Amino acid sequence: MNTLRIRRGAIALAAATTLPFALAACSDSGSDSGTGAASTSAAADPARADATPAEGAMTADAPFGPACAGVPKEGAGSFDGMAKDPVATAASHNPALSTLVAAVQRAGLVDTLNNAKDITVFAPTNDAFAKIPKADLDKVLADKATLTKILTYHVVGQKLTPKQLENGSFETLQKGMITTKGSGENYTVNDTAKVVCGNVRTANAHVYIIDTVLMPQ
């Protein structure tokens, strides 16, 4: 009997000793499961990170060039605001294009430009017009026929992408030809005018703001 009691006591002691280790093992297993879930969540993060370039790709057609920094961030004169208006109206909200807008108004081309579909406008800045001697500029502004000829020389009857400007030749509304060269964010028109803010969108046109007035041959 004593021997039987001793054996039973040993079994009970062994069970009592083993149970905490078994519980600890279960606890460790649960911890591993949690770690696996965390790893799965972490593995999902790169997938979410992969979405970032796709979102960035949506801005690939954004305006570019040093003069773009001067465009208002909000309101009708901002890029978002200009995209909602036809081109002549959109230009009127950009302070850097006030001389061009005044010239378009004098030539009576506001409705012509606003009602045109799918055009590209090479828009000279105020500084571009300032390169022309004042006496000559005043003479041009007073001559509607000459002014119209010059302004329509800045308009192409299709929407041009930067890619098309890399080595292009296009007929203008004035019926003359312009040539474009460049790549990336650096483009010139007729080898004289530099694009200082390109790929600006309006409701009916693509606009490339340039630093020199183009003169038809």
Residues 158 and 93 in one domain: yes
Residues 160 and 196 in one domain: yes
Whether 216 is covered by a domain: the verdict is: no
Domain count, the chain: 2
The tokens describing 67, both together, are 């003069």
Measure the CA angle with vertex 155, ends 154 and 158; round to 5°: 145
Residues 115 and 203 in one domain: yes
The tokens describing 36, both together, are 């696996």
pLDDT-based confidence at 61, cuts 50/70/90?
confident
Domain encompassing residue 110? 66-210
Is it the case that residue 17 has pLDDT exceeding 60? Answer: no
- Which residues, including other chains, have CB under 8 Å from residue 168's CB and lie 6 or more apart? 160, 179, 180, 181
Among 20, 38, 60, which residue terminates a domain? 60
Residues 55 and 132 in one domain: no
| CATH number of the domain residue 111 falls in | 2.30.180.10
Among 60, 89, 111, which residue terminates a domain? 60
Whether 217 is covered by a domain: the verdict is: no
State the pLDDT at residue 60.
Answer: 59
Count of beta carbons in the 10 Å neighbourhood of residue 21: 9
pLDDT-based confidence at 11, cuts 50/70/90?
very low
Residues 30 and 78 in one domain: no
pLDDT-based confidence at 26, cuts 50/70/90?
very low
Is it the case that residue 56 has pLDDT exceeding 90? Answer: no
Whether 215 is covered by a domain: the verdict is: no
Whole-prediction pTM:
0.73
CA–CA distance, 136 with 23 (Å, rounded to integer): 95
- Residues 120-176: tens digit of each pLDDT: 999 999 999 999 999 999 999 999 999 999 999 999 999 999 999 999 999 999 999
